[in-house]
Structure 1
Amino acid sequence: MARGDQHIHVEWRGGTCRVKWWSGEYLPNGRKRYESKGGFLDEDSALEYGQDKLYEIRHGTHVSNRDGATPMSDWLDDWLSAMDHAHTTERGYRSMIENHIRPYFKRSTLADIDVIAFRAFKKHVNGCVAPGTAKNVMMVFGMVLDDAVPRLIKVSPVERTRRRGRFVKRKKERKRDMSALAVEQLARNADAVFGRAGYVFMWTMAMTGMRPAELYGLTREYCYPNWPGTDPRTDPDEEERYDEDVERYGKGGDLMPAIRVERQVQHHDGALRFFPPKYGSARTLVVPPFLAAMLDDLLAGHDKEWVFPSIKGTSLGSTNFDYWYWRQIADGRPERGGRKPRPAMPAVPPFQGKRLYLVRHGHKAWLDEDVHSKFAVESRMGHEVPGVEGTYSSVTVPMERAIMKTLQERWETLQEQLKANPLIISQMFPIGDDAEEKAAGQGD
């Protein structure tokens, strides 16, 4: 015996009742496609369930049994193919999906992932990776599930963190002030590791705040003294800027020495490739006279494409810079004898065990100490300035000259310190058994 209307039917199957409802779709042969659910003990309950489904279909909130049964792996493929992010962001998302999310849910459908499954996965991730990585994995997992609503799942099982109760301050990375003396020791260590390019590399990062991948990808045509005369001018929409750059920057006269940040290098499909800088932050960075002279001499002294070539003459981006270069530069190294002897290098305590990126942070602190225009500082760092200030402000020539002046003054003050006490560097950054005690005495 069946009970219902043209869109819903209730019928008994054995000792239980089943309801069938029209999904609103048609089969290839033109007949209506129905969905069903059984196990009801009375017709009223079954009919009420079917009516609820029809209500969801009419209001666009219904998830069909077929969509809910979509394998999680298939949905991950669809989600990845629809991504439209910067290269580094997309690479990070893809890595988290392929290394953590897909292996865990390879036998699951979207309908299988409820709040309990979400919590179980979160516990699994927290138990096998570092806290920072776990947080990023769960962020991506949350986006994947949120985007499945409402077509494949009715609601997302992601549990949002609600800030209730006592405020707990987020722990920040510990930083020390970056002194010119510390940068000089980093530069001397870098010189010992990969030559004159290393010395100029460290001072360029400290004086421009460029991101590491931007420095790795800096080529001759975008660097002083060649730029802007050698600018490839690849964008027809930027012709006005190209002409203004020639009037404003360059070598000699009243022109300001500068570096143009147009790209960075990242690995993609097994090869090192050029990409736009992070957040599309192409920008021009004026440099103080002492650094301009260093860059001029450096490029005159080698014929490589890269401004800062690696030991083998390739881009530093093709190496594991943090491991092979930076850790020695920041942490120091012992003396080595044998067939390939090398001298010992002192550690630089403000950067010992820390990231190269903190040199960029130190540049921002220098600009803030010198009380430059906030808009000029944020633009130099490659940050987007929000609100009215970002809309109406611009970086003017006087702003750029002021930045050049204060950066040059830091260098000249350093030279005066070195002239007054030639041993000041070795006293501050000793080599040997007393180095650790000396570093501890400097404090945070």
Structure 2
Amino acid sequence: MAWVEDRGGCYRVRYRRSGHIVTDSTHADRDDASAQATLLNNATRAARQRYMPLPAPLLSGWAEVWLSSHLAADSTMARYRSMLRSHILPVFGEHRVDAISRQDVKAFARELSARLSDTTVRHIVTLLGQLLREAIDEHLMFFDPTARLRLRTRPREPRLFATAGQVQQIVARMPDTVTRTLVTTAAYTGMRISELLALTRANVHLPKATLHVSATVGALHEVAGHRTLGAPKTPAAVRDVALPSFLVDGLERLLRTHPYDTVFCAPTGRWLWRTDFNNRHWRPACDGHPERNWQPIVAGMHFHDLRHTHRTWLDEDNIAEAAKANRLGHAIPGIRGVYAHTTPTMTARLVAHLHTRWLDHGGHW
């Protein structure tokens, strides 16, 4: 809807288009400005009748249509369904999509922020915006009520990381060779847990001292209680990860302890469950366990924080940005990424620093 604003003795006609407030025209007389605003509003109503001959659907119905045609990974689709089922549809499911106002969305975001983290709130509101913007493309509504919405960002504690000595202490609390080698490999390669749990013998190249993250089966995905091998998180995650010599020895020892194709597997040869490993082994090792007389090492640290740990070590060793991004499976944004390349000299220096760090902190298998 258009409206009139008094601006410096003149009157301008304003309206919202694609989430932005724009000026249609400026007039010396308020009546002329009001007449132009009325003309624009009548044109909007006519366009609504032309492009929207039928009532807009309820958000619950539109969400089903959107989900059935949306292309995304299985894990992403499962997350979308969870956010819709738990947060969006209970509030907006019985609203027509063209009846959801900006104030409704702001109140919704404020209510979510009272009980959820800022990141979770942002993901939920972003998903709602995706649904509504595609409804606009289908001429089911005209304006995106989530456009340029400012969400509150509260200060938060920095992510935790560990020293090499602390990693050794955590490793010492692991129950077997598989879990000890898993934690050590994660800390000294920076690989994601999904990449490590999907690792097979075919992608372990010990003579070349590398691990390969496959483009097709490079990650273990857990969706709705089912596990499948699939593509890693991003295209940049497809890579070869160079190994220091102590990791080559450790992986060789591990592969001699079992006959299975999966490198980091359960005693039966099956894939490890992340939640089971986290609850039974990782959390007690980091947070402490009174019954075992274990004191906390890095309380609250997540397994994923080993990637932050690895990146911190590389920063301490002044490793080139291109080599750090390649090792972690990240893409350097913009033109810097076009001109950034990793050389054998960079890789050799990186691996040498990791091996020195291992030895300086009493590394042993």
Same fold judged by TM-score > 0.5?
Answer: yes
Instruction: Report the AA paired with residue 288 of structure 2.
Output: G
Task: Provide TM-score, normalisation by structure 1.
Answer: 0.66
Once residues 272 and 317 of structure 2 are traced to their aligned partners in structure 1, the CA distance between those partners, rounded to angstroms, is 31
Structure (1 or 2) with the larger CA radius of gyration: 1
Instruction: Report the AA paired with residue 277 of structure 1.
Output: P
Instruction: Report the AA paired with residue 412 of structure 1.
Output: L
Q: Are the aligned partners of 1:326 and 1:356 in contact in 2 as well (CA < 8 Å)? A: yes
2:203 alignment counterpart: 222
Q: Are the aligned partners of 2:288 and 2:294 in contact in 1 as well (CA < 8 Å)? A: yes
Q: Structure 1 residues 213 and 126 mapped into 2: Cα distance closer, same or farther (>3 Å)?
A: same
Structure 2 residue 171 is matched with structure 1 residue 187: yes
Q: Are the aligned partners of 1:224 and 1:296 in contact in 2 as well (CA < 8 Å)? A: no
Q: Are the aligned partners of 1:198 and 1:308 in contact in 2 as well (CA < 8 Å)? A: yes
Structure 2 residue 223 is matched with structure 1 residue 268: yes
Residue-by-residue CA offset, 1:202-224 (whole Å, 9 max, x unaligned) = 11011100011111211221124
Shift of 1:315: 1.5
Shift of 1:119: 3.4
Counterpart of 1:358 (choices 298, 305, 314) is 305
Aligned length: 323
Counterpart of 2:88 (choices 74, 87, 101) is 101
Q: Structure 2 regions of 5+ residues with no counterpart?
A: 1-37
SS in structure 2 opposite 1:274? strand
Once residues 361 and 392 of structure 1 are traced to their aligned partners in structure 2, the CA distance between those partners, rounded to angstroms, is 25
1:308 alignment counterpart: 264
Instruction: Report the AA paired with residue 209 of structure 1.
Output: G
Once residues 294 and 53 of structure 1 are traced to their aligned partners in structure 2, the CA distance between those partners, rounded to angstroms, is 69
2:361 alignment counterpart: 414
RCO higher in structure (CA 8 A, sep ≥6):
2
Q: Structure 1 residues 73 and 357 mapped into 2: Cα distance closer, same or farther (>3 Å)?
A: same
Structure 2 residue 136 is matched with structure 1 residue 136: no
2:193 alignment counterpart: 212
2:295 alignment counterpart: 346
Map 1:17-416; keep pairs closer than 5 Å.
52=43, 56=47, 63-67=51-55, 69-127=56-114, 129-150=116-137, 151-158=139-146, 160-162=148-150, 171-175=155-159, 178-190=162-174, 192=175, 195-225=176-206, 251=207, 256-262=208-214, 263-268=218-223, 270-280=225-235, 281-310=237-266, 313-317=269-273, 319-335=275-291, 343-348=292-297, 351-415=298-362
Map 1:421-436; keep pairs closer than 5 Å.
none
Instruction: Report the AA paired with residue 402 of structure 1.
Output: R
Q: Are the aligned partners of 2:194 and 2:221 in contact in 1 as well (CA < 8 Å)? A: yes
Shift of 1:413: 1.2
Q: Are the aligned partners of 1:189 and 1:329 in contact in 2 as well (CA < 8 Å)? A: yes
Task: Provide TM-score, normalisation by structure 2.
Answer: 0.79
Report the RMSD for the aligned CA atoms in angstroms.
2.9
Q: Are the aligned partners of 2:159 and 2:308 in contact in 1 as well (CA < 8 Å)? A: no
Residue-by-residue CA offset, 1:300-345 (whole Å, 9 max, x unaligned) = 111223211235542123653322222112112133xxxxxxx443
Shift of 1:134: 2.7
Q: Are the aligned partners of 1:272 and 1:318 in contact in 2 as well (CA < 8 Å)? A: no
Q: Structure 1 residues 131 and 369 mapped into 2: Cα distance closer, same or farther (>3 Å)?
A: closer
Residue-by-residue CA offset, 1:360-401 (whole Å, 9 max, x unaligned) = 111011111111221111011100112333223332222221
Once residues 299 and 399 of structure 1 are traced to their aligned partners in structure 2, the CA distance between those partners, rounded to angstroms, is 29
Residue-by-residue CA offset, 1:85-134 (whole Å, 9 max, x unaligned) = 33433332221112221232332211321234323433443455444433
SS in structure 2 opposite 1:141? helix
Q: Are the aligned partners of 2:161 and 2:301 in contact in 1 as well (CA < 8 Å)? A: no
Shift of 1:283: 0.7
Q: Are the aligned partners of 1:213 and 1:317 in contact in 2 as well (CA < 8 Å)? A: no
Shift of 1:63: 4.3
Instruction: Report the AA paired with residue 160 of structure 1.
Output: R
Shift of 1:156: 1.5
Q: Are the aligned partners of 1:53 and 1:62 in contact in 2 as well (CA < 8 Å)? A: no
Shift of 1:135: 2.9
Instruction: Report the AA paired with residue 292 of structure 1.
Output: V
Once residues 114 and 231 of structure 2 are traced to their aligned partners in structure 1, the CA distance between those partners, rounded to angstroms, is 36
Shift of 1:169: 8.5
2:24 alignment counterpart: none
Once residues 123 and 387 of structure 1 are traced to their aligned partners in structure 2, the CA distance between those partners, rounded to angstroms, is 34
Q: Structure 1 residues 390 and 124 mapped into 2: Cα distance closer, same or farther (>3 Å)?
A: closer
SS in structure 2 opposite 1:267? strand
Shift of 1:172: 4.6
Once residues 326 and 136 of structure 1 are traced to their aligned partners in structure 2, the CA distance between those partners, rounded to angstroms, is 27
Q: Are the aligned partners of 1:93 and 1:140 in contact in 2 as well (CA < 8 Å)? A: yes
